[in-house]
Amino acid sequence: MTMQLTGIHHLTAITANAPANLRFYTQVLGLRLVKKTVNQDDTSAYHLFYADGLASPGTDLTFFDWPVGHERRGTHSISRTGLRVGSTDSLQWWKDHFQKQKVRAGEIRDVGGRPSLDFEDGEGQRFRLVVDDSGAPSHPWEKSPVPAEHQIKGLGPITLSVPDLRNTKIVLTDVMNMTETSTYPAPEGTGEVHVFSMGEGGPSAELHVAVEPDLPAAHQGAGAVHHVAFRAPDVEALHAWTERLRGLRVPSSGEVERYYFRSLYFREPNGILFEIATDGPGFAVDEPLETLGEALSLPPFLEPKRAQIEARLKPLA
């Protein structure tokens, strides 16, 4: 049986304003703050995780809080993050909601065969609400200001921008075992977007690759995406992916213990950072599900440095 990734695991982006970020994603988007921790490689920075009511894999939108300037948009990047909602009625609710909240948003339109609504956060982070009527289960957060039937169900599809498809396609299909399932005209500009599917497919398991050779190279900053992670069911599956990359001579980080999941990092040929992450053990491994995100959580290897770490962090309130 061919090894299969099962969908999008999480997406990590960059903010230069953690308090405003927290307000937007919890109060405007209605997501749940499920983990308040620090960047394990830079403990002066928050790492904030937002997700659904149960902190399910495939719903995590996360942010590094770094004091950086704004991104320079372009290719060689993850250019738009899909967020799934349940119906076209939900899209209309969100359009009205964004108007009231003065959020920059477009019009409801068809993108790649699905009703969609583009919007941006205050730092220019680019999103697309996409209707997912697949019947996939959702886990609303009971304390969300967004009505349960309109809450964001999770991530996907994720859009990459590359100047040339050829080498990226080889990695997606021959290394990562994705299948190219369709193409559609680029919503902005010219050219085509190529759809690659994982596992059973559907919007939670799609990567859309826009071929945009005329754009300059992107430069990361606030409003940019840092990396996208794909789902491996368990540690055994991750070991298999580690061996596969090694056997194909794809440079990688080797396996990294992130405590809430175990990960493997590598770059596709246009320099975009990919991660493969395990579904477990999850965010309730160190605090009760009922109170996720209320206190600063640190993995065991950072716990002895808690006092120093807390002293360097800015208040979120």
What CATH number did the domain enclosing 122 receive? Answer: 3.10.180.10
Question: Is residue 5 within 8 Å of 198, Cβ to Cβ?
Answer: yes
Q: Which of 160, 152, 153 is nearest to 178 (CA)?
A: 160
Strand pairing of 225-232 and 255-257? Answer: unpaired
Cα 102-105-106 angle, rounded to 5 deg: 145
- In this structure, is residue 3 part of a structural domain? no
Q: Which two tokens stand for residue 75?
A: 């290719």
Question: Is residue 138 within 8 Å of 127, Cβ to Cβ?
Answer: no
For residues 77 and 215, give the distance between their C-alpha atoms in angstroms, rounded to a whole number: 11
Q: Which of 130, 173, 112, 138 is nearest to 32 (CA)?
A: 138
For the residues of 127-146, what is the DSSP string, one character each? EEEEE--S-------TT-SS
Q: Which of 18, 19, 47, 53 is nearest to 35 (CA)?
A: 47
List Cα–Cα distances, 131 to 45, 114, 153, 190, 217, in angstroms. 34, 6, 10, 24, 30
- In this structure, is residue 160 part of a structural domain? yes
Query: Residue 13 has what pLDDT?
Result: 98
Would you tell me how many other CB atoms lie within 10 Å of the CB of residue 275?
22
Query: Residue 263 has what pLDDT?
Result: 98
Coil, strand or helix at 266: strand
Q: What residue type is assigned to position 42 of the chain?
A: D
Phi, psi of 62, deg, nearest 5: -125, 155
Element (H, E) at 241: helix 235-247
Q: Which of 108, 60, 25, 40 is nearest to 230 (CA)?
A: 60
- In this structure, is residue 2 part of a structural domain? no
Give me the residues paired with residue 11 across strands: 61, 228
- In this structure, is residue 64 part of a structural domain? yes
Give me the residues paired with residue 174 across strands: none
Residue 215 buriedness (CB in 10 A; 0-12 / 13-18 / 19+): middle
Query: Residue 190 has what pLDDT?
Result: 77
For residues 53 and 59, give the distance between their C-alpha atoms in angstroms, rounded to a whole number: 10
The position carrying tokens 């990567």 is: 207
Q: Which two tokens stand for residue 53?
A: 């009511």
- In this structure, is residue 317 part of a structural domain? no
Number of domains composing the chain:
1
For residues 272 and 225, give the distance between their C-alpha atoms in angstroms, rounded to a whole number: 10
- In this structure, is residue 1 part of a structural domain? no
Query: Residue 189 has what pLDDT?
Result: 72
Q: What residue type is assigned to position 183 of the chain?
A: T
pTM (2 d.p.): 0.97
- In this structure, is residue 60 part of a structural domain? yes
Instruction: Look up the domain containing 111 and give its range.
Output: 8-312
Residue 243 buriedness (CB in 10 A; 0-12 / 13-18 / 19+): exposed
- In this structure, is residue 282 part of a structural domain? yes
Average pLDDT per 10 consecutive residues for the chain, totaling 317 residues: 91 98 98 96 94 98 97 98 98 98 98 97 98 92 98 98 98 98 90 96 97 96 98 98 98 97 98 98 96 96 96 90
Q: Which of 127, 136, 121 is nearest to 6 (CA)?
A: 136
